[in-house]
Structure 1
Amino acid sequence: MTIARQLATIDRLCSEAFPPEPGRSDVGTGGPGYHLAELATSEDFWEDDGTRRLEAEEQYEADRDGLAERLAHRWGPPRRFSLMSVCERAEAGEEIPEPWGSLSAHVPDLHLWRADEHGRWIALGVSQWDKELPFQLLAVVTVMDPP
């Protein structure tokens, strides 16, 4: 997906209603109060010595940063929001609202904006569930305040 299509996807999700139930969408997942778009997905790393993984991680972080620059022209500089403490709280049994609870399991930090007149948060992050699994560039649109 090109950066123009990524921006168009984010714009569309900012204007769409949220799904009444959690589930898959044409660009990722969603549920009450949130959309989560999978903007790009790498290959997996089952047969990798670590080199391709490191290159992919650097590329996905650069892609996130480039997209964040474009969004900063609209909404100002992003806040960096670490999900590490959110993950620790979830692992300790605290109920974390979605999309933050599931994001904290595989996205270490986010670029975050409070971006529109409807009180929606927009976030960009790089996900990887495990070292052998693909990286994903994710965009989140939600009305749920970060925990």
Structure 2
Amino acid sequence: MLPQHQSREHADEYLSIIDSLSARPFPDENGRPGGAGQWSGPGFHLAVLRESQDFWEDRSAEIVEAAERELEAGLAALSVILAERWGAPEAVDLWPYLELDDSDSTATSREPLSFLCGVAGSMQMWRLPHSERWVGLTIGQADPEWPFQLLVGIGETSSLDGR
């Protein structure tokens, strides 16, 4: 069930983005084939599903916490819908991916994990049935003044190996 402030229209929009990215082939080069808020590359797709305000002008605890709670409600609602489709998500700790050596020849195949571990500590992940892909949801923030973002990442299951 969706929280009252989380409209069905938003959930349908998020699901449409997730379904589109899950089915889209991975490109050979990094780029933004989906437009603003979406980027892709070899073995991955990333998208910002929702974004809070930024905190350049006001970083008071009340405003920051309210923005974070709103995105957490969106993540929780979307997780319920995806769990109905694909079962319970796996909790993935993203911190181990920070420790990967950038000189490693597989580093480029680690996306979207390389990006996600830089903005979030964990994600909820589903392995797509009959596919070598996974879908992950998290809330990230690149810097304290920047907005919180509800993010979806789609990657190859091989990117999860070798933590």
Greater Rg, structure 1 or structure 2?
2
Q: Secondary structure at the match of 2:45?
A: strand
Deviation at 1:7, TM superposition (A): 0.4
Aligned residues: 145
Rounded to whole Å, the distance in 1 between the matches of 2:31 and 2:140 is 19
CA spacing shift, 1:126–1:94, aligned 2, 3 Å: farther
* Corresponding residue number in structure 2 for 1:31: 41
Structure 1 position 135 matched with structure 2 position 148: yes
Report matched runs for 1:1-147 at 5 Å.
2-24=10-32, 25-26=34-35, 27-48=37-58, 49-87=60-98, 89-90=99-100, 95=104, 96=107, 97-145=110-158, 146=160, 147=163
Aligned-residue CA RMSD in angstroms? 1.7
Identity of aligned residues (%): 34
Task: State the secondary structure of the residue aligned to 1:23.
Answer: coil
**TM-superposed deviation, 1:66:** 0.8
State the 4+ residue runs in structure 1 displaced beyond 3 angstroms.
92-96
> Which consecutive unaligned segments of at least 5 residues does structure 1 have?
none
TM-score, scaled relative to structure 1: 0.90
Q: Secondary structure at the match of 2:119?
A: coil
Q: CA deviation at 1:93?
A: 5.1
For structure 2, list consecutive stretches of 5 or more residues without a partner in the other structure.
Answer: 1-8
